[in-house]
Amino acid sequence: LQPQGSEEAKAFVHAFLKRSMPKMNDEAIQDMLTRKALVLEHYPKKKTKQKRKKVKGFTAKQRRELRLFEIEPEQQRYAIFLPLHELWKQYIRDLCHGLKPDAQPHMIQGKLLKADLHGAIVTVTKSKCPSYVGITGIILQEFKHVFKIITKEDKLKVVPKLNNVFSLEIDGFTSYIYGSKFLLRASERSAKKFKLKGTIDL
C-alpha cells in the first residue's frame, strides 16, 4: 500500500462523511473537520435471542422398548435389596428426627406419606382381591398405579395401589397407606397434601 497524500486523505474523509451522513451539507462537514472532533451515530444491531432447545427425554414407548425399568431375573433376589432397606430406615430416621417415643404419630405419618418408599418393607393388609392380602416385601419400584415388590421367596410382585391398603412398619411405628388415595408418582408426592385418615371400600 502506498501512503496517501494530505489532499487524498482529505478527499477520502470528506467522501466517507458524505456517505455516512447524507443529510449533512458540505459546509457542516467542513466545520466538523476544522474542529477535528467527530461523533458518528451508531445504530447497534438488535441481538436476536437464541431459543434454547428443550431436551426431550424418552417416551413411554421408548422406555419400554429399551427395558429401562425391568429388573433382570438373576437380580430378583430379596437378599440383594436388604442393604437398600437398611439405608431406607436410616433415611426415615433422619427425616423424622430419630423417631423418638415422644414424637407425635400424625407428624411421623405425614412425613412417611411424602417420603421416598423405595427400599421400604410393606405388607398388603386389605384388598378387594384376596390374593394380594399378605404379600410382604421390599418396594423396588413405585409407579403411578403400582408397586413392584420383591418378597422373601425371591418373587417379584406387581401390586396395584387401587383398592389396596398397605402397612409400613419402622421402629415400632406402623403407618397405613390407602392405595386409592396414593395414585401418584413418587416425585409428585412431596407437594401433595394428604388426609391422614383415609377410607377405602372393600
Chain-centre distance of CA 158, in angstroms?
25
What pLDDT does residue 165 have?
A: 94
Position 119 scores a pLDDT of: 94
The domain limits of the chain are 76-191
Beta bridge partners of 169: 174
Mean pLDDT by 10 residues, the chain (202 residues): 62 75 72 62 66 75 79 90 94 83 76 88 94 95 92 94 91 85 79 60 54
CA-to-CA distance for 116 and 118, rounded, in angstroms? Answer: 6
Q: What is the pLDDT of residue 197?
A: 54
Angle between helices 6-20 and 26-35 (to 10 degrees): 120
Class of domain 76-191 as given by CATH? mainly beta
- Amino acid 194: pLDDT: 64
Q: Is the entire prediction scored with pTM above 0.85?
A: no
pLDDT of residue 199: 52
33 burial type by CB count under 10 A (0-12 exposed, 13-18 middle, 19+ buried):
middle
Report the pLDDT value the prediction gives residue 1, as an integer from 0 to 100.
Answer: 43
Which residues on neighbouring strands pair with residue 156, listed in sequence order?
150
